[in-house]
Amino acid sequence: MMQGGDPSGTGKGGESIWGAPFKDEFDSRLLHSNRGVLSMANSGSNSNNSQFFITFKECHYLDNKHSVFGR
């Protein structure tokens, strides 16, 4: 997995375009089932900011914990 989106480079930085964290959005058709899945990184439910990650392999343990938004 590769993670990015933290302008401070500390792993703790970044904010959403709205300023405040935003809610998770899950779709049963969008799963961490392959390499190359693009998802929001977060620190718990509804805590999405600017960080994201790309999977290098299947990672089903992330399903319904991190919102998938691309591939």
What is the tens place of the pLDDT at every residue in 4-22?
A: 999 999 988 899 989 999 9
List the beta strands (DSSP E) in the chain: 2-4, 38-40, 52-54, 68-70
| % pLDDT > 90, the chain | 92
What mean pLDDT value characterizes the chain? 96
What's the pLDDT at 12?
87
What's the pLDDT at 11?
86
Arithmetic mean of pLDDT, 53-61: 98
- Eight-state DSSP code of residue 51: -
Domain edges within the chain: 1-71
In words, the CATH class of domain 1-71 is mainly beta
Q: Of 57, 58, 49, which Cα lies nearest the Cα of 67?
A: 49
